[in-house]
Amino acid sequence: MSLLSTKNLSKDYIESVMEKAKEMEEYKGNAMKGKILATLFYEPSTRTRLSFETAMLRLGGQVISVADSKSSSLMKGESLEDTAKVVGKYADVIAIRHPQAGTAKKMSENAGVPVINAGDGSANHPTQALLDLYTIIKERGKVNRLSITISGDLKNSRTASSLVYLLANYDVRLKFLAPEKLKMKGEVKEFLKEKGMDFSETSDVEEGLKNADILYATRVQKERFENPAEYELLKDSFVFNRAMIEKYNPNMLILHALPRVNEIATDVDNLPGAAYFRQVENGVYVRMAVISLLLA
Ligand code: NCD
Protein backbone atom coordinates (compact mmCIF):
# COMPACT_ATOMS: atom_id res chain seq x y z
CA MET A 1 0.00 0.00 0.00
CA SER A 2 1.02 3.59 -0.62
CA LEU A 3 -0.24 6.90 0.81
CA LEU A 4 -1.04 9.10 -2.16
CA SER A 5 -4.03 11.24 -1.22
CA THR A 6 -6.44 11.88 1.65
CA LYS A 7 -9.49 11.77 -0.56
CA ASN A 8 -10.45 8.17 -0.10
CA LEU A 9 -8.91 7.31 3.24
CA SER A 10 -11.26 5.44 5.53
CA LYS A 11 -12.10 6.89 8.90
CA ASP A 12 -10.64 3.73 10.46
CA TYR A 13 -7.31 4.36 8.76
CA ILE A 14 -7.33 8.03 9.76
CA GLU A 15 -8.02 7.10 13.36
CA SER A 16 -5.33 4.45 13.37
CA VAL A 17 -2.82 7.09 12.25
CA MET A 18 -4.00 9.41 15.04
CA GLU A 19 -3.63 6.68 17.66
CA LYS A 20 -0.27 5.53 16.39
CA ALA A 21 1.04 9.11 16.29
CA LYS A 22 0.10 9.57 19.93
CA GLU A 23 2.01 6.41 20.78
CA MET A 24 4.98 7.76 18.80
CA GLU A 25 5.29 10.82 21.05
CA GLU A 26 6.94 8.56 23.65
CA TYR A 27 8.50 6.01 21.31
CA LYS A 28 12.04 4.88 22.09
CA GLY A 29 12.27 1.59 20.17
CA ASN A 30 13.77 0.62 16.84
CA ALA A 31 10.97 -1.11 14.98
CA MET A 32 12.36 0.05 11.61
CA LYS A 33 15.85 -1.31 12.22
CA GLY A 34 17.26 -2.53 8.89
CA LYS A 35 14.70 -0.57 6.86
CA ILE A 36 15.57 2.28 4.55
CA LEU A 37 13.54 5.34 3.59
CA ALA A 38 14.44 7.16 0.36
CA THR A 39 13.48 10.82 0.13
CA LEU A 40 13.22 12.17 -3.41
CA PHE A 41 12.40 15.86 -3.42
CA TYR A 42 12.09 17.54 -6.80
CA GLU A 43 10.71 20.72 -5.22
CA PRO A 44 11.97 22.86 -2.33
CA SER A 45 11.29 21.64 1.19
CA THR A 46 12.65 22.16 4.66
CA ARG A 47 10.14 20.66 7.08
CA THR A 48 8.68 17.84 5.08
CA ARG A 49 11.96 16.24 4.05
CA LEU A 50 13.68 16.78 7.38
CA SER A 51 10.69 15.51 9.34
CA PHE A 52 10.37 12.38 7.20
CA GLU A 53 14.05 11.72 7.76
CA THR A 54 13.80 12.48 11.49
CA ALA A 55 10.79 10.16 11.72
CA MET A 56 12.64 7.25 10.10
CA LEU A 57 15.75 7.79 12.25
CA ARG A 58 13.63 7.92 15.42
CA LEU A 59 12.11 4.58 14.42
CA GLY A 60 15.59 3.09 14.24
CA GLY A 61 15.63 3.02 10.43
CA GLN A 62 17.97 4.68 7.95
CA VAL A 63 17.61 7.24 5.22
CA ILE A 64 18.97 7.77 1.72
CA SER A 65 18.31 10.94 -0.17
CA VAL A 66 19.04 12.71 -3.42
CA ALA A 67 20.93 15.67 -2.02
CA ASP A 68 19.85 18.01 -4.77
CA SER A 69 17.21 17.00 -7.29
CA LYS A 70 19.19 18.82 -9.99
CA SER A 71 21.91 16.22 -9.49
CA SER A 72 19.57 13.26 -10.06
CA SER A 73 19.32 11.28 -13.29
CA LEU A 74 15.88 12.73 -14.05
CA MET A 75 17.95 15.69 -15.25
CA LYS A 76 19.74 13.38 -17.71
CA GLY A 77 16.36 12.46 -19.13
CA GLU A 78 15.60 9.34 -17.10
CA SER A 79 11.89 8.64 -16.90
CA LEU A 80 10.16 8.72 -13.56
CA GLU A 81 9.13 5.10 -14.12
CA ASP A 82 12.77 4.03 -14.40
CA THR A 83 13.80 6.12 -11.40
CA ALA A 84 11.02 4.40 -9.42
CA LYS A 85 12.19 0.93 -10.46
CA VAL A 86 15.73 1.77 -9.38
CA VAL A 87 14.99 3.45 -6.05
CA GLY A 88 12.59 0.61 -5.20
CA LYS A 89 15.62 -1.70 -5.30
CA TYR A 90 17.42 0.35 -2.65
CA ALA A 91 14.70 1.46 -0.30
CA ASP A 92 11.83 -0.14 1.63
CA VAL A 93 9.70 2.99 1.40
CA ILE A 94 9.92 6.16 -0.70
CA ALA A 95 8.74 9.70 0.06
CA ILE A 96 8.51 11.83 -3.07
CA ARG A 97 7.72 15.49 -3.73
CA HIS A 98 7.31 16.72 -7.28
CA PRO A 99 5.82 19.80 -8.97
CA GLN A 100 3.55 17.71 -11.18
CA ALA A 101 0.25 16.26 -9.97
CA GLY A 102 0.07 12.48 -10.24
CA THR A 103 3.81 11.86 -9.88
CA ALA A 104 3.62 9.97 -6.59
CA LYS A 105 0.96 7.69 -8.04
CA LYS A 106 3.12 6.98 -11.09
CA MET A 107 6.04 6.22 -8.80
CA SER A 108 3.92 3.86 -6.70
CA GLU A 109 2.94 1.93 -9.81
CA ASN A 110 6.57 1.24 -10.62
CA ALA A 111 8.57 1.14 -7.40
CA GLY A 112 7.40 -2.17 -5.93
CA VAL A 113 7.60 -0.63 -2.44
CA PRO A 114 5.20 1.72 -0.61
CA VAL A 115 5.33 5.34 -1.75
CA ILE A 116 4.33 8.34 0.34
CA ASN A 117 3.24 11.43 -1.50
CA ALA A 118 5.10 14.35 0.09
CA GLY A 119 3.37 16.83 -2.21
CA ASP A 120 2.53 16.61 -5.93
CA GLY A 121 1.94 20.02 -7.48
CA SER A 122 -1.28 21.63 -6.29
CA ALA A 123 -2.93 18.25 -5.81
CA ASN A 124 -2.16 16.32 -2.61
CA HIS A 125 -0.07 16.40 0.53
CA PRO A 126 -1.57 13.68 2.71
CA THR A 127 0.92 13.57 5.58
CA GLN A 128 0.59 17.33 6.06
CA ALA A 129 -3.19 17.00 6.32
CA LEU A 130 -2.87 14.11 8.79
CA LEU A 131 -0.53 16.15 10.98
CA ASP A 132 -2.89 19.13 10.74
CA LEU A 133 -5.75 16.94 11.93
CA TYR A 134 -3.58 15.48 14.67
CA THR A 135 -2.73 19.00 15.82
CA ILE A 136 -6.41 19.96 15.98
CA ILE A 137 -7.20 16.90 18.08
CA LYS A 138 -4.21 17.43 20.35
CA GLU A 139 -4.90 21.13 20.85
CA ARG A 140 -8.68 20.99 21.15
CA GLY A 141 -9.41 17.42 22.22
CA LYS A 142 -11.92 16.96 19.40
CA VAL A 143 -12.77 17.79 15.81
CA ASN A 144 -16.54 17.54 15.77
CA ARG A 145 -18.60 20.69 16.02
CA LEU A 146 -15.69 23.05 15.42
CA SER A 147 -15.91 26.00 13.01
CA ILE A 148 -12.88 25.92 10.78
CA THR A 149 -11.89 28.74 8.44
CA ILE A 150 -9.41 27.81 5.73
CA SER A 151 -7.84 30.86 4.15
CA GLY A 152 -5.45 31.98 1.45
CA ASP A 153 -4.61 30.37 -1.87
CA LEU A 154 -7.29 27.71 -1.93
CA LYS A 155 -6.94 27.28 -5.67
CA ASN A 156 -3.35 26.08 -5.49
CA SER A 157 -2.77 24.91 -1.93
CA ARG A 158 -2.41 21.13 -1.73
CA THR A 159 -2.47 21.28 2.05
CA ALA A 160 -5.85 23.03 2.13
CA SER A 161 -7.60 20.56 -0.17
CA SER A 162 -5.94 17.56 1.49
CA LEU A 163 -7.14 18.74 4.90
CA VAL A 164 -10.68 19.34 3.66
CA TYR A 165 -10.86 15.75 2.39
CA LEU A 166 -9.95 14.54 5.88
CA LEU A 167 -12.33 16.91 7.64
CA ALA A 168 -15.15 15.61 5.46
CA ASN A 169 -15.12 12.58 7.78
CA TYR A 170 -16.19 14.77 10.71
CA ASP A 171 -19.03 17.03 11.70
CA VAL A 172 -17.37 20.43 11.18
CA ARG A 173 -18.46 23.81 9.85
CA LEU A 174 -16.15 24.80 7.02
CA LYS A 175 -15.62 28.31 5.73
CA PHE A 176 -13.34 29.07 2.79
CA LEU A 177 -11.81 32.55 2.93
CA ALA A 178 -10.02 33.36 -0.33
CA PRO A 179 -9.69 36.17 -2.86
CA GLU A 180 -12.05 35.77 -5.81
CA LYS A 181 -9.15 34.60 -8.03
CA LEU A 182 -7.94 31.96 -5.56
CA LYS A 183 -11.19 30.33 -4.50
CA MET A 184 -11.31 26.69 -3.36
CA LYS A 185 -10.93 24.16 -6.18
CA GLY A 186 -14.21 23.14 -7.79
CA GLU A 187 -13.52 19.42 -7.39
CA VAL A 188 -13.19 19.83 -3.61
CA LYS A 189 -16.50 21.68 -3.37
CA GLU A 190 -18.14 19.03 -5.53
CA PHE A 191 -16.81 16.36 -3.20
CA LEU A 192 -18.29 18.14 -0.18
CA LYS A 193 -21.64 18.55 -1.91
CA GLU A 194 -21.74 14.86 -2.79
CA LYS A 195 -21.06 14.07 0.85
CA GLY A 196 -23.86 16.42 1.85
CA MET A 197 -21.44 18.61 3.79
CA ASP A 198 -22.16 22.24 4.40
CA PHE A 199 -19.56 24.91 3.70
CA SER A 200 -19.51 28.62 2.97
CA GLU A 201 -17.21 30.84 0.94
CA THR A 202 -16.21 34.46 1.35
CA SER A 203 -13.49 36.87 0.34
CA ASP A 204 -14.22 39.20 3.25
CA VAL A 205 -11.76 38.85 6.13
CA GLU A 206 -14.20 39.93 8.85
CA GLU A 207 -16.78 37.46 7.59
CA GLY A 208 -14.12 34.78 7.40
CA LEU A 209 -12.91 35.22 10.97
CA LYS A 210 -16.32 35.61 12.57
CA ASN A 211 -17.20 32.60 14.76
CA ALA A 212 -14.04 30.73 13.80
CA ASP A 213 -12.66 28.27 16.35
CA ILE A 214 -9.77 27.51 14.03
CA LEU A 215 -8.00 29.51 11.34
CA TYR A 216 -5.96 27.42 8.90
CA ALA A 217 -3.93 29.90 6.86
CA THR A 218 -2.07 29.09 3.66
CA ARG A 219 0.66 30.85 1.70
CA VAL A 220 -0.13 32.25 -1.72
CA GLN A 221 1.66 29.60 -3.80
CA LYS A 222 4.06 31.75 -5.81
CA GLU A 223 5.51 28.81 -7.73
CA ARG A 224 2.11 27.95 -9.24
CA PHE A 225 1.56 31.34 -10.88
CA GLU A 226 2.21 31.67 -14.58
CA ASN A 227 2.08 35.43 -14.35
CA PRO A 228 4.38 36.98 -11.71
CA ALA A 229 2.40 40.24 -11.82
CA GLU A 230 -0.71 38.39 -10.74
CA TYR A 231 1.18 36.90 -7.80
CA GLU A 232 2.34 40.37 -6.77
CA LEU A 233 -1.26 41.56 -6.79
CA LEU A 234 -2.54 38.67 -4.71
CA LYS A 235 0.33 37.77 -2.40
CA ASP A 236 -0.78 39.94 0.50
CA SER A 237 -4.51 39.38 0.14
CA PHE A 238 -4.82 38.49 3.82
CA VAL A 239 -2.36 39.42 6.51
CA PHE A 240 -3.67 38.35 9.91
CA ASN A 241 -2.36 40.26 12.88
CA ARG A 242 -2.87 39.90 16.59
CA ALA A 243 -5.54 42.60 16.86
CA MET A 244 -7.66 40.96 14.17
CA ILE A 245 -7.51 37.57 15.85
CA GLU A 246 -8.19 38.97 19.32
CA LYS A 247 -11.19 40.88 18.06
CA TYR A 248 -12.94 37.67 17.03
CA ASN A 249 -11.57 35.01 19.33
CA PRO A 250 -8.43 35.46 21.45
CA ASN A 251 -8.28 31.68 21.86
CA MET A 252 -8.57 30.92 18.17
CA LEU A 253 -6.41 27.96 17.15
CA ILE A 254 -4.16 29.18 14.36
CA LEU A 255 -2.55 26.65 12.05
CA HIS A 256 -0.24 27.03 9.07
CA ALA A 257 1.73 24.33 7.22
CA LEU A 258 4.59 26.83 6.87
CA PRO A 259 6.55 28.41 5.32
CA ARG A 260 4.65 31.61 6.04
CA VAL A 261 5.43 34.66 4.00
CA ASN A 262 3.18 37.50 5.17
CA GLU A 263 -0.06 35.67 6.01
CA ILE A 264 0.47 35.71 9.76
CA ALA A 265 2.18 38.68 11.38
CA THR A 266 4.81 37.73 13.94
CA ASP A 267 2.82 39.47 16.69
CA VAL A 268 0.40 36.53 16.48
CA ASP A 269 3.12 34.06 17.50
CA ASN A 270 2.68 34.53 21.24
CA LEU A 271 -1.08 34.08 21.28
CA PRO A 272 -2.00 30.86 23.12
CA GLY A 273 -3.67 29.42 20.03
CA ALA A 274 -0.78 30.07 17.65
CA ALA A 275 0.11 26.43 17.12
CA TYR A 276 2.12 26.43 13.90
CA PHE A 277 5.44 25.62 15.52
CA ARG A 278 3.84 22.90 17.67
CA GLN A 279 2.32 21.61 14.43
CA VAL A 280 5.86 21.11 13.08
CA GLU A 281 6.72 18.83 16.00
CA ASN A 282 3.55 16.83 15.46
CA GLY A 283 4.70 16.23 11.90
CA VAL A 284 7.43 13.94 13.16
CA TYR A 285 5.00 11.80 15.22
CA VAL A 286 2.52 11.56 12.37
CA ARG A 287 5.20 10.60 9.83
CA MET A 288 6.55 8.00 12.27
CA ALA A 289 3.00 6.63 12.45
CA VAL A 290 2.53 6.61 8.68
CA ILE A 291 5.86 4.86 8.02
CA SER A 292 5.17 2.28 10.76
CA LEU A 293 1.72 1.49 9.43
CA LEU A 294 2.92 1.19 5.82
CA LEU A 295 5.79 -1.13 6.74
CA ALA A 296 3.98 -3.12 9.44
C1 NCD B 1 3.40 23.16 2.26
C2 NCD B 1 3.59 22.53 0.92
O3 NCD B 1 4.71 22.23 0.53
O4 NCD B 1 2.57 22.33 0.26
N5 NCD B 1 4.55 23.17 3.05
C6 NCD B 1 4.88 22.08 3.80
O7 NCD B 1 4.88 20.95 3.35
N8 NCD B 1 5.16 22.29 5.09
C9 NCD B 1 2.76 24.49 2.19
C10 NCD B 1 3.41 25.55 1.38
O11 NCD B 1 4.48 25.36 0.82
O12 NCD B 1 2.83 26.64 1.32
How far apart CA 227 and CA 247 sit, in angstroms, is: 35
Amino acid at 223: E
C-alpha of residue 214 to centroid of ligand 1, in Å:
19
* Stretch 100-109: mean pLDDT: 97
| Whether residue 25 has pLDDT greater than 80 | yes
Q: Is the pLDDT of residue 27 over 80?
A: yes
Which is the closest atom of ligand 1 to the Cα of 128? 7
For 115-170, how does the pLDDT look when each residue is reduced to its tens digit (9 = 90+)?
Answer: 999 999 999 999 999 999 999 999 999 999 999 999 999 999 999 999 999 999 99
> How large is the average pLDDT for residues 15-34?
98
47 catalytically annotated: yes
Would you state the torsion angle of the CA atoms of residues 164, 166, 171, 175, taken in this order, to the nearest 10 degrees?
Answer: -10
In the predicted structure, residue 98 carries a pLDDT above the cut 90: yes
Question: Would you state the pLDDT for residue 285?
Answer: 98
In this model, does residue 69 exceed pLDDT 80?
no
- Centroid of ligand 1 to alpha carbon of 46 (angstroms): 9
For the Cβ of 257 lying below 6 angstroms from any atom of ligand 1, the answer is yes
Choosing from 20, 49, 58, 97, which is the catalytic residue? 97
Domains and CATH numbers, the chain: 11-124+283-294 (3.40.50.1370), 126-280 (3.40.50.1370)
pLDDT 10s digits, 261-294: 999 999 999 999 999 999 999 999 999 999 999 9
Check: CB of residue 94 under 8 Å from CB of residue 114.
yes
Whether 76 is catalytic: yes
Q: 36: Cβ–Cβ under 8 A, 6 or more apart, which residues?
A: 61, 62, 63, 64, 90, 91, 92, 93
